[in-house]
Structure 1
């Protein structure tokens, strides 16, 4: 954890009412953002029209080039981190300042839409909505970062805060190993006091994210004694792989379902005399006959938990169930690296309170916490355990993320720029109050 003095100063400063001069400065911040709104919208259109599906490395780099030019123009130090070591395009890191509270701002350059997809362009719709691949997940959030920082820089309001922006190139499909693909975020978080994420959360402008559940994959492999089905349940043959797999999965459900915010799901299962699993393609096929006791079963799934303790307990219970085998069967359960939980800490809620106060002062209404069951895993999860305060869901709102119906509610674009810029400004003043 960071300096206790700094943490207390930040928490106290965040909750103090603004001084007499602050409202005027905050009005200037809003005005500056509004003056640049058309340029921000034009740049958003530009990056949305560049296909940057995770595996389109060239496209991801082209989007990074657009944002690099933006950060260079503000006087940030920019760095492209090549992703060849983790089989992805790479990440853009932009840094500014050496004084004051340290803020990590997190976005991503990639989308779920492949280069061959027919959903490729920015398309204005009626009533202030715009369709486009990745417009809310999350090129709109990236533009909120850029535009908020640009307004503060233009007004000479970045001198009392240190900023590091990490725009990853593999959020939608993480490179492996995670220790390398997420290193830029972890390093930034170890440096920072506060982490801010610009995903769209649950796409409700009245909410923000102070907690996200983990996303960890598991693999269950079960073996039994193959024999003629007439001998099943005998002392010599036992129960076979399918019955053992069924026992294990049902025991998971009986012992863990409904506990806190924990969920777990067996997403793919195959069993029989012979099983062929293709994990990279998320496929499996099997051969078996009704008169043969099954020799093997393969099950792949995922588990999500809100805290590290909840996840650790689930793993312990699952392993115990797997080890208590039926006669003449055996089983192994393994867990892959995954997204850790972003736990709902008191400081996260204090940061949310600050953000909500800003929203109210702007006339946008209060902000409440997203139900973690409605927010999936995101890159901020790799930062949250290393900073003193974290919040996500500050991006462009809309609907249909990850689908060809992805649309942005552009009425949220400037509003979330206003809130972000004022949040950074108030944090920058916390040591000075």
Structure 2
């Protein structure tokens, strides 16, 4: 690498000011109008930075997506695809409990770390290279999606189709620790659980009924107790019953399972599906497999990307570690396709998905320069 990455013109204060607008535009996955507003804001900012932008209608009931391309002499050729999501887990109104605020090098806000911060530094890095007269060897494209936090049920096909057009995939999900990147992801599966009981009057004929809530509680414990070092099970999003004086007929929940290897996830799937049973009287427990993220194991292409970014990190004054991580991202899909994929390139922070989600402000510049340096040398 010949350019001095420490000279990439990124300013933390200016970046934080732009990022604040994104953070204060709440965008929970299931609120389509809110996600659409966030996508429109991102599209507006990308256009102002010089990107050619297209809005793609989202999956049914979910928000739109945005595809951007930075002008390049080799436009249309396979290049670099940056993938990110702009939906968050935080419901509308979270800003009242978790307002955008800063104390020294720490800044809080819903979605600031996962992963609005990473997306913002990625497009800022592209713009910064252009400002200093550096043309990337390969064309750079950006795809921002709307349903990653629920497992990417509607945009997986779009992601895979876009990724197949390119040579390298970069994912600015949060860094899992200060000087790190991600070179693999565990396999993840989701399941819908339904307990079906028998109704009765809870006061006058309690024993005549069979409580779906009680059934769900028992099965929940049994399912989570299957967790071991190789495959985990976590049950949440529970709903059951409607009237306290009625024995509940239906109870529903969702289960998330994560495994380090595909064979472990397959074993876990077999085990949880064994809980499915239907009785002749209509009672029973139903387990339905939902969305799955395949395991992504580091390929030679991914490790070549890591060695490149590690050299860039050294030039910036830090040594990057790498690991396969849980949590899942859309990098699972591109990595499993065999495409050179590097993940965890986003901001440094902590406590994502909580009311303490925050970033280290200084990482806007350090990680932005890391991304910029990588974009400037890939394909050279």
When normalised by structure 2's length, the TM-score is 0.79
- Segments of 5+ residues of structure 1 without an aligned counterpart are 1-17, 226-240, 269-281, 288-294
1:265 aligns to 2:234 (yes or no): yes
Contact 1:248 1:322 in 2 (8 A): no
- 1:164-183 → structure 2 map (5 Å cutoff): 164-173=141-150, 178=153, 180-183=154-157
Contact 1:164 1:188 in 2 (8 A): no
* Secondary structure of the corresponding residue to residue 128 of structure 2: helix
Shift of 1:352: 2.0
Question: Cα 1:224–1:395, aligned 2, differ >3 Å: closer, same or farther?
Answer: closer
Contact 1:218 1:334 in 2 (8 A): yes
Shift of 1:143: 1.3
* Secondary structure of the corresponding residue to residue 164 of structure 2: helix
* Secondary structure of the corresponding residue to residue 301 of structure 1: strand
| Aligned partner (choices 292, 295, 298) of residue 344 of structure 1 | 298
Question: Cα 1:243–1:66, aligned 2, differ >3 Å: closer, same or farther?
Answer: closer
* Secondary structure of the corresponding residue to residue 183 of structure 2: coil
Indicate the residue corresponding to 1:60 in structure 2.
35
Question: Cα 1:61–1:331, aligned 2, differ >3 Å: closer, same or farther?
Answer: closer
Question: Cα 1:218–1:171, aligned 2, differ >3 Å: closer, same or farther?
Answer: closer
1:410 aligns to 2:361 (yes or no): yes
| Aligned partner (choices 68, 73, 90) of residue 64 of structure 2 | 90
Contact 2:98 2:108 in 1 (8 A): no
Shift of 1:171: 2.6
- Corresponding pairs, count: 362
- 1:222-301 → structure 2 map (5 Å cutoff): 257-258=227-228, 260=230, 262-267=231-236, 282-285=238-241, 300-301=254-255
User: Following the alignment from structure 1 to structure 2, what is the Cα–Cα distance between the partners of residues 50 and 153?
Assistant: 27
Residues 230-275 of structure 1, C-alpha deviation per residue, up to 9 Å, x if partnerless? xxxxxxxxxxx99999998898789x65463x2223458xxxxxxx
Indicate the residue corresponding to 2:209 in structure 1.
none
Contact 1:306 1:342 in 2 (8 A): no
User: Following the alignment from structure 2 to structure 1, what is the Cα–Cα distance between the partners of residues 86 and 197?
Assistant: 46
User: Following the alignment from structure 1 to structure 2, what is the Cα–Cα distance between the partners of residues 248 and 38?
Assistant: 51
User: Following the alignment from structure 2 to structure 1, what is the Cα–Cα distance between the partners of residues 322 and 110?
Assistant: 28
Contact 1:57 1:88 in 2 (8 A): yes
Shift of 1:410: 0.9
CA RMSD of aligned residues (A): 3.8
Shift of 1:104: 1.5
Contact 1:101 1:428 in 2 (8 A): no
Contact 1:94 1:166 in 2 (8 A): yes
* Secondary structure of the corresponding residue to residue 97 of structure 2: coil
Question: Cα 1:299–1:93, aligned 2, differ >3 Å: closer, same or farther?
Answer: closer
* Secondary structure of the corresponding residue to residue 192 of structure 1: coil
Structure 1 or 2, whichever has the larger Rg, is 1
Question: Cα 1:312–1:38, aligned 2, differ >3 Å: closer, same or farther?
Answer: same
Shift of 1:313: 3.6
Question: Cα 1:101–1:405, aligned 2, differ >3 Å: closer, same or farther?
Answer: same
Shift of 1:124: 1.7
Indicate the residue corresponding to 2:140 in structure 1.
163
* Secondary structure of the corresponding residue to residue 346 of structure 2: coil
When normalised by structure 1's length, the TM-score is 0.70
| Aligned partner (choices 360, 371, 378) of residue 420 of structure 1 | 371
User: Following the alignment from structure 1 to structure 2, what is the Cα–Cα distance between the partners of residues 243 and 410?
Assistant: 47
* Secondary structure of the corresponding residue to residue 209 of structure 1: strand
